[in-house]
Structure formats: structure tokens, C-alpha cells
Amino acid sequence: MGKMIDSLNKINEKYKELEPIHLKELKEDCTVIMVVDVINGFVKEGNLFSDRISKILSPIEELLNKGKNYKKIFIKDTHTHESLELETYPTHCLVGTQEAEIVDELKGYIDNNSEVICKNSTNAFVNEQFAKWLRENEGIKNYIIVGDCTDICVMQLALTLKAYHNEKNLKNRIIVPKNCVETYDLDVTYHDGDLLYLMSLYMMESNGIEIVEKVI
């Protein structure tokens, strides 16, 4: 136990303050900002709402304002009562409900340079619409991933996207600004938000994802 606690303390120190990245370093024509599940069902209401997640809304708005001319993908959980994911998680973000809608604060950033993807699982990479987008946008080399939850949908997307490019020997950068991702806290399932947030950053970086303080 002592070694584990020591390792956790070291990891915690490592991620306390990181270097930022300048958006201007990333060319507009080969960069996409991916906004994962910043929807009412996680940010404002419902069974999986968390006020921890609502705190990342402002920094995400700031990033999107800086990156108005960049390609953007807005990914949103959209389920039916038949969705198998609901065997694992409480009912959430049902199609046609407010929970499944992107928060009002971000809707203004959806433009002709944006794609909106509805996913039925925790991993947007396996979504057919995203696969089509990926084929049609082979020039994209930089992926900035923001949203929630850090240890579930964000991490699964980042790791699968990285593995996909590694398999094909395609150089890319997958960047996760830590001020723009968050996860929930739920004592009944031992889901400690601080711990899982920290460990997901560590797991992503261990697999080639760039973890930065923020995008400036």
C-alpha cells in the first residue's frame, strides 16, 4: 500500500501544473476540436448530472471562441430505451429529450465547419458517422479533445483514436487540455472523481496523448 500511495502522490504532483499549448501552433486546416458530451444530461440535469462537469463549460467556451475558424466535432450521447449501455448506467440522454441536447452556451459555435455526431455508446470512435468523417478528413493531424467524462468517453475516444493512427503508422497529435475535461463523483459506486480524473490523465499520457494545462 505504501508504494501505491507514494506513486499516487507523485502522479498528483506531476499534473498539478502543466505547460499550456498555443492554438496558433496548430494549423487550422489540419486541426479539429472535438467536444465530447457537453450536453444537458451531464452538465445541467438528469441522473448523470454533475456540478463538477458544469465547471468546464466556461473554459470550453473560451477555447471554441479562440478556435472559431477551426473544424469542430460536437459529440453527444443519444440513447433509446433499448440502448444496451443503459444496462450499465442509469437512464440518461434519451433521444428527443433536453438531456440529449448540446448546452445552449455552445450551440452558437456549431457552424458550417462543424459536425454533430450522436453516439449510442461510450466510445465515439466506433460510431459510423465518425468513421465516415475520419475517412473524409484524412488531412487532420491534430485532435484537441475536451468534455466529459475524463475517464470514460474522453479517454476511450483518445486512446482508440491514437491506436488507430499507430496501427497505420500515421503521425498525429491528440491533445487533452486538463482544464477542459472532468468526471463525476459518486460514492455509492466508489467513483472518486479526483482519483479517476487523475488516473485517466496518467493513462492517456502513458499511451501517447498530450496532456496540457490549457490551450491559449
CATH number at residue 206: 3.40.50.850
- Number of domains making up the chain: 1
- The per-residue pLDDT for 2 is 87
- The per-residue pLDDT for 200 is 99
Q: Does any domain span residue 189?
A: yes
Q: Does any domain span residue 119?
A: yes
Q: Does any domain span residue 2?
A: no
CA distance 42 to 92: 9
Q: Does any domain span residue 94?
A: yes
Q: Does any domain span residue 8?
A: no
Domain span at 94: 21-212
Q: Does any domain span residue 14?
A: no
Q: Does any domain span residue 166?
A: yes
**pLDDT(177) > 90:** yes
- The per-residue pLDDT for 175 is 99
The pTM score is 0.97
Q: Average pLDDT, stretch 43-50?
A: 94
Distances (CA, A) of 206 to 117, 118, 158, 210: 28, 29, 12, 9
Which residue bears the cell 489540419?
30
Each residue's pLDDT tens digit, 123-156: 999 999 999 999 999 999 999 999 999 999 999 9
- The per-residue pLDDT for 17 is 87
Each residue's pLDDT tens digit, 198-215: 999 999 999 999 999 999
User: Phi/psi of residue 29, each to 5°?
Assistant: -75, -10
